[in-house]
Structure 1
Amino acid sequence: MKIPLLEKRDYDAVVVGSGPNGLAAAIAMQQKGLSVLLIEGKETIGGGMRTAELTLPGFKHDICSAIHPLAISSPFFNTLPLANHGLEFIHSPIVAAHPFDDGTAAVLHNSLSQTAESLGADAAGYNKLFRPLSANWEDLLPDVLSSLKWPQHPLQFAQFGLKALPSAKFIADKYFKTEKAKGLFAGMAAHSMQALDQPLTPAVAMVLMLSGHHKGWPMIAGGSQNLANALARYFLSLGGKIETGQVITALDQLPSAHAILFDTGPQQLMQIAGHKLSAFYKWQLKRYKYGLGVFKVDWALDDVIPFTASDCREAATVHLGGTFAEIAFAEKAAAFGKAVDRPFVLLAQQSQFDKSRAPQGKHTAWGYCHVPFGNTKDMTEVIENQIERSAPGFRERVIGRHTFNALQMQDYNANYIGGDINGGLQNISQLFTRPALRSSPYRTSAKGIYICSASTPPGGGVHGMCGYYAAKRAMKDVFKIAD
């Protein structure tokens, strides 16, 4: 969506960066009657929500985010009339699939009961792990995606926390007996981008699986860019202003404003506003840790991916990596700086269910594996080998490829330091220090300057909650506006 350049003038607030959190922050403030300018360095808005013809003409590829369980579940996005501004979610018949070498697949269905039943001997364990949380998920999710404030439902949150705090390995061994259930859980926990023997790794798995049971894992019709476009259209309809193609390197480039919110990582914040920040705060930001990077491949295909397991053909998301032990080995190796020959691969096949993504009769696919921070090794062959394990003949259908290594991901989006698409390591040591230990993680040491990116709680994902909470903090501090 092309947005015209606007004249500079005074604003109540300026937001730098138009990812999901920048857009959420801008909307939240504009809704309260403030005048807000949103500035984006690239010619198109969206941050990680961009779509482009990366391989061949007519093939639309999501550059970063592709499947959106947190967008459809977001406590803030759910309050917005985005359907009126062109947003359409598309669901695949099966939420996600996880194939094994024997030609079978474990499956996440929208129905919790159906998922449990499909796991056979582990049906009881699956129900024991998820059913108590699922019964209260609509109330619990806002606490899970919170700003680390006291939960509104403390007993339910404690129930979630007790299961989320140990390692994914501990939870898998406690609740499951079969490789099928353990493998399914491993693929979900691997979204944490950490070794699966680390604390808190079950949290991401549980959020994703419970979200799947409630609102599914949809894609955005026409590409993830259309989620950004819908958010922008709504913001503009409220009277907000957007400038694109404006790379900000110093505060004096910005118009006068009472509050400035940065949808950037700590490093960019220091580069732009470092002279305003205290030495201690900058010391904290410099200690902020980043996690694994990603190597990503987009494919143009002349036919669908020929998965052996039929369930995989019905799922927009497919997790490739085999057993829990295989996935755990690959993730731990990456965490210790080694790129492996059999990585965990997260694959999306949007054109199976959204025909607008490719020319008639053709298809797209999207996939990445985790690699050591900043790694530049070409992982195309090993990723395609993992696909071939479950879909023999896949390579014969490839008619175009595009790749990003970890540093190329950083070059594309400066928030992805070292290829870390989560905006920083989401481990237990940074749970309360994201990006610095402060009374509010969104306040910087400079009056009127805030950070609202995925480097703040609740962290990575297309949910907008980091921006929403940062906007609430800024409105309360600067404008004395409270809920």
Structure 2
Amino acid sequence: MTPTPSSADAVVVGAGPNGLVAANALADAGWSVVLVEANETVGGAVRTAEVTAPGFRNDLFSAFYPLAAASPVIRDLHLEHHGLAWEQAPRVVTHVFPDGSATAIERNAEATAAALDDQAAGDGDAWLTMVAQWDQVKEPLLDALFTPIPPVKAGARLVRRLGTEGMLEFVRLALLPVTRLGDERFAGEGPRALLTGNAMHSDLPPDSAGSGLFGWLMSMLAQDVGFPTPRGGAQSLADAMAARFTAAGGSVRTGVRVEAVEVRHGRAVGVRLADGERIAARRAVLADVDAPTLFHRLVGHEHLPESYVRALSRFQWDHPTLKLNWALDGPVPWRSPEAVGAGTVHLGVGRHGFVDHAASMATGRVSRDPFVLLGQMTTADATRSPAGTESVWAYSHLSHDLARDEAGVEASAEAMRRVIEEAAPGFSDRVLAEHVQRPADLQTANSNLVNGAINGGTAHLHQQLVFRPANGTGRPETPVPGLYLAGASAHPGGGVHGACGWNAARSALGAQGAVRRQLLRTAWSRLLP
């Protein structure tokens, strides 16, 4: 085993997808980089293990990756050269209503539109109009989303594509509640449910401003790139990024926790590990760590402006997650044919049930009919379990108070089981093994998932853009020179897209370029008369 260097140009704290992207970007630029991870395995919330039954590979956190497939950041890493291969289910996502009816996003937009039109005349054309709008804006929009604030070049391209009137319409779409967006665009309940269910992958209630953008974005990604999953498990994505990093000369240290970011003369100069070892950072420290932990514990208030500490005290987490994993001895016995072959299934609620579920989270109650997201992993990737079986997970969101109440968590898990059983009678009879991941379990497995919050902080508008993670510029630079926020608490937030790590690396590299330019200017000024 190669020993970890005692110093490097940069130290990256945390080997989640953002940390791995940041480490790769710095190594590509010729920097020496040490990547330090508290867990024995890299990946953060991109990990796989056999936690149900032998031969069943279960993704412990995230499982489907439309953002990764669409992200120019991850695409440009060419991870296919390092072992990554994507798999797709025959059908992307299906919403199953309580009465057994269902609506799906098919792999082909025309097929989706035809099915929608069968349910409500005109909805097929409305869906294709939405897809055409996505095709028009997706390239500059994704560049704008995955670029540090302000996204000047990408924003200008977006305006040129849309024109003034089109841009105003798009801004309006971005601010709409998803319920209103569905009402304006579609006559039938199916596409409205698809938009709303995809919006609720975030923590935004369906009647809140901004939820329309999330629902539209996730639905259009589903139609464009699908909901792909790495062959062999989510771990394959993390392993490919780690393999690329070490091939570029990077050093990975797992199984040891960073206890502190060392600050000297007001600048981040390295990290101190739990075993007392120090790793010096000659140029930068990049932290794929949630913002409260980074600044309150690893840095300390004494190194921060009082105004920043006050702003961080208002930091809001997204809703906790309760996740159940199963090994089944056969396929899920769905009542709805449209759910067969779908990688992702949304179930448990109809149109008004979304609002009821959101209200339960807001008031700390157990949701009587929870909105449940379910993944059929063997359907998407045959390597996940033995032939003829199915590896399945499901999750739902809870309030923070309920997530801390053991009885409330168990009642919520039982409600999830009931919802699935109603949609797939006989499901429980096919269960070989079950593994429950409570919110506290998620945090134990990955300290960034505080109380089971999976997106690094709320997606509400008051904590986005220049307000993420606190009032400021929305950029990865921090009040401590040489320290960069590279995790999901930074803009653009949660999701496996790598942009938070990429932006932090770009900022670190840019800062070094600015220093070199200033040194050159100083040298020339001394030579000139």
The normalised TM-score by structure 1 is: 0.95
Return closer, same or farther for 1:213/1:135 CA change in 2, 3 Å cut-off.
farther
Q: Which amino acid aligns with 1:176?
A: F
- 1:15 matched to 2:19: no
Between the aligned partners of 1:58 and 1:84, the Cα distance in structure 2 is 26
Partner of 2:27: 30
SS at match of 1:290: coil
Between the aligned partners of 2:255 and 2:453, the Cα distance in structure 1 is 24
Query: How much has 1:28 moved relative to structure 2?
Result: 0.9
Query: How much has 1:279 moved relative to structure 2?
Result: 2.6
Note if contact 2:361-2:399 (Cα within 8 Å) is conserved in structure 1.
yes
Query: How much has 1:164 moved relative to structure 2?
Result: 1.8
SS at match of 1:317: strand
Size of the alignment, in residue pairs?
A: 479
- 1:207 matched to 2:232: no
- 1:235 matched to 2:245: yes
- 1:363 matched to 2:374: no
Return closer, same or farther for 1:81/1:87 CA change in 2, 3 Å cut-off.
same
Partner of 2:57: 60
Return closer, same or farther for 1:147/1:162 CA change in 2, 3 Å cut-off.
farther
Query: How much has 1:339 moved relative to structure 2?
Result: 2.2
Note if contact 1:331-1:370 (Cα within 8 Å) is conserved in structure 2.
no
Query: How much has 1:111 moved relative to structure 2?
Result: 2.5
- 1:153 matched to 2:192: no
Partner of 2:506: 472
- Deviation digits for residues 409-456 of structure 1 (CA, Å, limit 9, x no counterpart): 222211112211011000111112110222353111111011111111
- Deviation digits for residues 113-142 of structure 1 (CA, Å, limit 9, x no counterpart): 322221122223323434222233233222
SS at match of 2:501: helix
- The 5 A counterparts of 1:330-349 are 330-349=357-376
SS at match of 1:249: strand
Q: Highest CA radius of gyration, 1 or 2?
A: 2
1:6 to 3, 25, 34: 3
Between the aligned partners of 1:165 and 1:117, the Cα distance in structure 2 is 29
- 1:256 matched to 2:288: no
SS at match of 2:279: coil
Return closer, same or farther for 1:182/1:440 CA change in 2, 3 Å cut-off.
closer
- Deviation digits for residues 209-229 of structure 1 (CA, Å, limit 9, x no counterpart): 211222111111111011000
Query: How much has 1:481 moved relative to structure 2?
Result: 9.1
Partner of 1:449: 483
Q: Which amino acid aligns with 2:456?
A: G
Partner of 1:463: 497
Partner of 1:424: 457
Partner of 1:267: 292
Between the aligned partners of 1:140 and 1:365, the Cα distance in structure 2 is 33
Between the aligned partners of 2:180 and 2:290, the Cα distance in structure 1 is 32
Between the aligned partners of 2:132 and 2:474, the Cα distance in structure 1 is 33
Partner of 2:445: 412
Q: Which amino acid aligns with 1:225?
A: Q
Structure 2 residue runs of 5 or longer lacking an equivalent are: 262-270, 273-277, 517-529
1:393 to 426, 442, 459: 426
Q: Which amino acid aligns with 1:221?
A: R
Return closer, same or farther for 1:332/1:394 CA change in 2, 3 Å cut-off.
same
Return closer, same or farther for 1:82/1:152 CA change in 2, 3 Å cut-off.
farther
Q: Which amino acid aligns with 2:250?
A: G
Between the aligned partners of 1:161 and 1:237, the Cα distance in structure 2 is 43
1:94 to 91, 96, 100: 91
1:165 to 167, 175, 182: 175
Between the aligned partners of 2:78 and 2:315, the Cα distance in structure 1 is 36
Q: Which amino acid aligns with 2:125?
A: A
Between the aligned partners of 1:148 and 1:371, the Cα distance in structure 2 is 32
Note if contact 1:448-1:478 (Cα within 8 Å) is conserved in structure 2.
no
Note if contact 1:351-1:363 (Cα within 8 Å) is conserved in structure 2.
yes
Between the aligned partners of 1:465 and 1:481, the Cα distance in structure 2 is 24
Query: How much has 1:273 moved relative to structure 2?
Result: 1.1
Partner of 2:188: 178
Note if contact 1:30-1:235 (Cα within 8 Å) is conserved in structure 2.
yes
Between the aligned partners of 2:373 and 2:148, the Cα distance in structure 1 is 28
Note if contact 1:277-1:444 (Cα within 8 Å) is conserved in structure 2.
no
Partner of 1:70: 67
Q: Which amino acid aligns with 2:285?
A: I
Structure 1 residue runs of 5 or longer lacking an equivalent are: none
Between 1:472-481 and 1:38-47, the stretch displaced more is 472-481
- 1:383 matched to 2:416: yes
Query: How much has 1:35 moved relative to structure 2?
Result: 0.9
Between the aligned partners of 1:405 and 1:328, the Cα distance in structure 2 is 23
Note if contact 1:290-1:424 (Cα within 8 Å) is conserved in structure 2.
yes
- 1:351 matched to 2:378: yes
Between the aligned partners of 1:131 and 1:470, the Cα distance in structure 2 is 33
Q: CA RMSD for the aligned pairs? A: 1.8
Q: Which amino acid aligns with 1:72?
A: A
Between the aligned partners of 2:238 and 2:195, the Cα distance in structure 1 is 30
Between the aligned partners of 1:444 and 1:365, the Cα distance in structure 2 is 40
Partner of 2:523: none
SS at match of 1:195: coil
Q: Which amino acid aligns with 1:321?
A: G
Between the aligned partners of 2:215 and 2:378, the Cα distance in structure 1 is 25
The normalised TM-score by structure 2 is: 0.87
Partner of 1:190: 200
Partner of 2:41: 44
SS at match of 1:255: strand
Query: How much has 1:292 moved relative to structure 2?
Result: 0.9
SS at match of 1:96: strand
Between the aligned partners of 1:266 and 1:139, the Cα distance in structure 2 is 28
Query: How much has 1:152 moved relative to structure 2?
Result: 4.1
Between 1:296-305 and 1:145-154, the stretch displaced more is 145-154
Q: Which amino acid aligns with 2:286?
A: L
Between 1:327-336 and 1:236-245, the stretch displaced more is 327-336
Note if contact 1:250-1:272 (Cα within 8 Å) is conserved in structure 2.
yes
Between the aligned partners of 1:152 and 1:394, the Cα distance in structure 2 is 51
